[in-house]
Amino acid sequence: MTSPVPDATPRVTILIYQSYLPFQGRYPRVSGQAEILQRHGYDVEVLACDREARHPVDESVEGIRVKRIPIKSGEMLGPIRQLIPLLLFFFRATWRILRERPDVLICHNLDVVPIGCVVRCLSRTRVFFDAHEPNYYGLWPEKWRLFHWGLTLSEKLMARMMHGITVTNNYQVQKYRGFGVRHVALIGNYARPDFGVDAIPDEKRERETVTFGRLGTIYPGTGFEQMVQAFEKVQQDRPQARLLVAGRVVDKYRDRFEQIIAPIADRIERIGAYSADQMPELYRKLDVSLMIYPRNAWFRHITPTKYYDSLANGVPVIMTDIGGIGDEIQHEQCGIVVDENDIDGIADAMRLLVDEPTRRLAMSQQALEATRTSYSWDGMERDYVAFIADVSGHLPERPLPTNTPQDPPPQTTNEPAGAQS
């Protein structure tokens, strides 16, 4: 990498095939990166796809300019039904980006990387790929497995065309380096400072009930059924246990969702879609986060944002070992690792944290300490800005804030930037 050349105000376009709404799961990562770059002197614009075709075409969201291309689509439709809307977005977004010629284009997720490849070939824009998911086709039904080889080859070829790739865990670092990508940086899904707390609220030390909770979009195959089964067992002998479920239920899963919760409908607090700025309020209600994900092709290597959000709010976790997080939980002493197929084991872990409030609160304190040390937002911010500036060659002339140390740029060839403990 060469040293970045100071620009007056480098222009950055962040591209995403979602509507860019505060309740969507990817919003915290995308908005967090947008705010970081804007705070450090870049001129940032988000170009999104309004898949509901009913949101403002041009607006400001938390101080970030957002342009939306309205294309009616849906979610979890499969590759065939999603193809036409994706192609329409491809052509309209590509034309717009080539017309405006930003200095930097950041493609969030694989579905918009083909646009980045075209922009790379036809302009001098520096193109980045932010890979949220380790294995993008893990949720596809078995009948589409035959296409995986070709799609993996396509991903490899497109990834090698990117100037730089940012990822969420070490598995992805090794994956893209194995593809031959030179500049790969690990930028963790850490919680934004305004989404957490500095100390455990006194009310959590005083209340007699213990509330377990799951936050995030609810869809098939996410371990939701196992969580409810374990809670039913705990409720039989621990009536002080409560369950809170917050998040949007996808349309195709709504009927099944109602069937699952029917036996505990009077013992569960249901909250629908919520915006990112509501998370501290929701976590204040929780004593323990439940993240019972299956270790399948989709979840096996994922590092969920909700893990870091929970810790930032002083909420210990009961969680399956995905994305290498099991070792981290044990090292940080901020929760209990369980097997998603062992319902009795999950229930026993829940009972333990009901029966031993001192241990539960100690884990809460450890969660906050992990956020301050191992999962520091400030450290991640420095790494991210340094990586974008060095790989793109564009550095704003405006100096960095005086309270932000200017550390050396993250290593992009040997060790991942922002590596987790």
Tens-digit pLDDT profile for residues 311-345: 999 999 999 999 889 999 999 999 999 999 999 99
Name the residue among 202, 216, 196, 186 with its Cα closest to residue 369.
196
pLDDT, tens digit, for every residue of 277-308?
888 999 999 999 999 999 987 788 888 999 99
- Token pair of 213 as six digits: 């909770």
Question: Whole-number mean pLDDT of the chain?
Answer: 88
Q: Residue 409 in 3-state DSSP?
A: coil
Which residues, listed in sequence order, are joined to residue 318 by a DSSP beta bridge? 290, 336
The pLDDT of residue 413 = 36
Reference 356, options 327, 336, 338; nearest CA is 336
Express as a percent the part of the chain with pLDDT over 70.
88
Contact 234, 351 (CB under 8 A): yes
- Mean pLDDT, residues 240-255: 92
Confidence at residue 33, expressed as pLDDT on a 0 to 100 scale = 96
- pLDDT at residue 362 is higher than 50: yes
Does the pLDDT of residue 126 top 90, yes or no?
yes
Tell me which amino acid residue 31 is. Answer: S
68 pLDDT tier (thresholds 50, 70, 90): very high
Amino acid 75: pLDDT: 60
Which element (helix H / strand E) includes 253?
Answer: none
Q: Is the per-residue pLDDT at 148 higher than 90?
A: no
pLDDT of residue 137: 66
Please check the confidence at residue 123 and state whether its pLDDT lies above 60.
Answer: yes
Q: What is the pLDDT of residue 21?
A: 87
Q: How confident is the model at residue 77 (pLDDT cuts 50, 70, 90)?
A: low
Extract the runs of DSSP E, i.e. beta strands, from 109-234.
Answer: 126-130, 164-167, 184-186, 210-215
Q: What pLDDT score does 143 carry?
A: 64
- pLDDT above 60 for 415: no
pLDDT for the residue numbered 409: 36
